[in-house]
Chain A
Amino acid sequence: MQYFGPTDVFGFGQLRDVWRSRELLYSFFLRDLLIRYRQVVIGMLWVLLQPLIGVGIFMGLFFVLETNATSPNVAYAPVVLTGMLCWQLVSNSFRDATGSLVNYRHVVTKIYFPRLLLPLASLLCASFDFAMGSLLIPIVCWFSQTPIVWSTVWLAIPIMLWLILFCAGCIAWLSSLNAHYRDVGYALPFALQLGMFVSPVVYDIHRLQHVLTSRWVWLYEANPIATCIGLLRWAMIGTPMPTAAGMGCALVITVVVCVSGLAWFQRADQQLADRI
């Protein structure tokens, strides 16, 4: 006899449930992937086109403004591409996951499965896009004559896992909060817009050096998104690494967001069908 309900305060039991339902997670992921490119002429090519268009826009913008978004000796294209890819991972997963529970209200109120699967499927989808888009990096590097640092490039994988983990913690919060308070969905686009500029998406961290000075740079890098983007660029094209203090803060924040997100999600899950 298995009794329903939470088994622990932190909601770690949910992870076990998610693992048990991994096939359903795959089904949700496949569904999200399939329906996204139904009735679309160029289909999956959008995955590559979206970051490229972003790169084009910002290259054009900074060209017109006659200013550099990077340190003088670094090509702009690979910098902005890695930034755009990471940012699309964050913004797409946040956007889709926040709406996931509410959009599938009719499923959530009719049948039980670990509800964490729905936002996680959105995250998987965004990660898939990132993986596809990252194929562009060597091409863009070749065009802009930036050598790839082969000795550290493998570190891109743990770095991205870190970013994905941080996103998972955030979407656990966002999706369940949105199910109770729809305000979250309305506020999110503005938060994302702001987030894009406080993270080094279209510029290099080192361009901010004179503003932040070495005293405040750790605060800027406490944002795990900023740290991950900085680390990814370091691993790929050899730009300077984020500071140790910044990375430490970002790591602590990631852990806090993930653990609290899991615990909160479990709490919210108890009342989800009543309140959604």
Chain B
Amino acid sequence: MNLDAIHLEHVSKRFRLGAAHDYGRLTEAVAAKVRGLFASKRTNKRAESINPTTPGQIVVPNAVAGQPNTVAGQMEDDWFWALRDVNLTVKTGEIVGLVGRNGAGKSTLLKILSRIVSPTEGRVGVRGRVGSLLEVGTGFHPELTGRENVFLNGAILGMSRADIRRRFDEIVAFAEIDSFLDTPVKRYSSGMAVRLAFAVAAHLEPDVLIIDEVLSVGDQAFQRKCLGKASQLGDQGRTILLVSHNLSAVANFCRRAILMQNGCVIADGQPDFIIDRYLMDSNAGAGEVIWTDDATAPRTKGIRLRSVAARGNGTSQPLGELDIDQPIEITVDYEVLQPQEKVSVQIQLKDETGTFVLWSANAPSMNSGDDPWFAQPHSPGLYRSRCRLPANFLNDTRYFVSVLIGESIGAPALRQDSALSFLVHDTGAMRREFTGSWVGPVIRPRLDWCTTQIPSGPDSKGA
């Protein structure tokens, strides 16, 4: 059972930048051919580097360390290297998660694996039937009925007609649309169309399944259904490759994770390690907003905002992505410009949907500690107000911090809305019990719970 399911050998992919030389027109192609006759061939100087990675350990290949760690390192004249010398072997039955920032090359890698684009260099091999879900509902046609679309979409995804016929009732039941089966899809609500598309995709049974972020569409109940279906496939010994920004899904669903950066695989190993590494790497510089230019910084006559930052517990480095089981520190740096200025600092937290999560200030009524500077006359200089949010308090989603500064709580003179955003991840204890997003509650504190058995003997009956 331990055959290789996916094999990538020195795979590189480059794209041409800019539209001017796109060869979209015949005349350009001819002109370029003519120019090519006179110009000498440019050789492609590329560092030869081989970085085999083995599962179970974090590998930092020298090639990456040697290259400039920026996007500019991927540029070469008019070319952009989306992938550079990727070597990868996945065994049958492995469930692998791909993580990395936008533009790291994850999607390009998936597209190469699903054969949509061909690599510029290197070769790619796959054992068995590949099913790729880079999008749900590929090939859905609005004029066709639900039934016809199931057959068409299923066929595009690689199912045989007999397969589809056999599983048709299951698909329809999964999508919950039975009464609309013979209605053209153009009359469906968008939710219904997505559900139907998902239902077809969920019944795909390839040997190697490639999934790109598709799980992030659809409602919550549906997402859970899909994840359940995917783990079923995993249990059947099928190979799954998954790209997701939902790190908790990667942490729990996958048994191996791969971190990509600037088109290279930079780490490969246990999901927990890889996710830690990713959070560490990808957030240098993020999680902090600094106004360096005095002219554009938010200010009043007496106060100028300097920076707003979020930090995990005990780290001095501001982080844009934080762990749920660590306390979070939000700091506001401001400069007092005139003497005897009275200052109070407030923060407001909103989530992605704009729900007001909390409002706090350094006033004694909202402070569990003691802030000697609250509403006191400040002398000119730099000040930092720190607010600590307890661990296991926020939910795992993105939060936006607004900062309000003024003489008193009721009348803030300076207001900076959504000055900073940070993302809270849950990769910890809770995820061992539950996969998927814990959507609904605004906060998710860890509270004191205890269950005891109430003794119920015959003597307690009369009481």
Contact = CB atoms under 8 A, between A and B. Distances in A.
Nearest to B111: A273
B126 A182 contact: no
B157 interface: yes
Given A1-B125, A1-B127, A38-B184, A110 B23 contact: no
Nearest to A180: B23
Contacts of A109: 116
Contacts of A23: 155, 160-161
Interface in B121-144: 123-127, 130, 132, 134-135, 138-139, 141, 143-144
B155 A27 contact: yes
Interface stretch (B24-32, B172-180, B252-260): B24-32
A24 interface: yes
Contact of B127 (A2, A27, A275): A2
A5 B23 CA distance: 23
A182 B28 CA distance: 13
A4 B123 contact: yes
Which of B23, B134, B139 has its CB near the most chain A CB atoms (within 10 A)?
B139
A144 interface: no
Interface in A261-276: 270-271, 273-275
A45 B111 CA distance: 43
Contacts of A181: 23-26, 29
B125 A3 contact: yes
A258 B152 CA distance: 28
Contacts of B141: 31, 35
Which of B111, B132, B184 has its CB near the most chain A CB atoms (within 10 A)?
B111
Nearest to A25: B155
B117 A274 contact: yes
B15 interface: yes
Nearest to B115: A112
A112 B114 contact: yes
Interface residues of A, number: 34
Contact of B135 (A110, A273, A274): A110
B115 A1 contact: no
A206 B195 CA distance: 61
B125 A275 contact: no
A144 B96 CA distance: 71
Contacts of A24: 155-156
Contacts of B144: 31, 34-35, 38
B148 interface: yes
Contact of A1 (B23, B126, B139, B152): B126
Contacts of A28: 152
A96 B124 CA distance: 33
A113 to B, nearest CB: 7
Interface residues of B, number: 39
Given A34-B148, A183-B25, A111 B132 contact: yes
Interface string B1-40: 0001001000000010000001111100100000000000
Given A35-B144, A181-B26, A270 B118 contact: yes
B127 A107 contact: no
Contacts of B151: 27, 30
A106 interface: yes
A163 B123 CA distance: 39
A112 B138 CA distance: 11
Interface string A98-128: 0000001011111111000000000000000
A1 B4 contact: yes
B26 A3 contact: no
Contact of A35 (B7, B123, B124, B143): B143
Contacts of B29: 181
B160 A107 contact: no
Nearest to A184: B26
B117 A273 contact: yes
A181 B132 CA distance: 28
A108 B132 CA distance: 12
Given A31-B144, A107-B139, A113 B156 contact: yes
A108 B151 CA distance: 18
B117 A107 contact: no
A109 B107 CA distance: 12
16 contacts: A1-B127, A2-B125, A23-B155, A23-B161, A26-B161, A27-B155, A30-B151, A35-B143, A39-B143, A108-B116, A111-B114, A111-B116, A111-B139, A112-B115, A273-B117, A275-B22
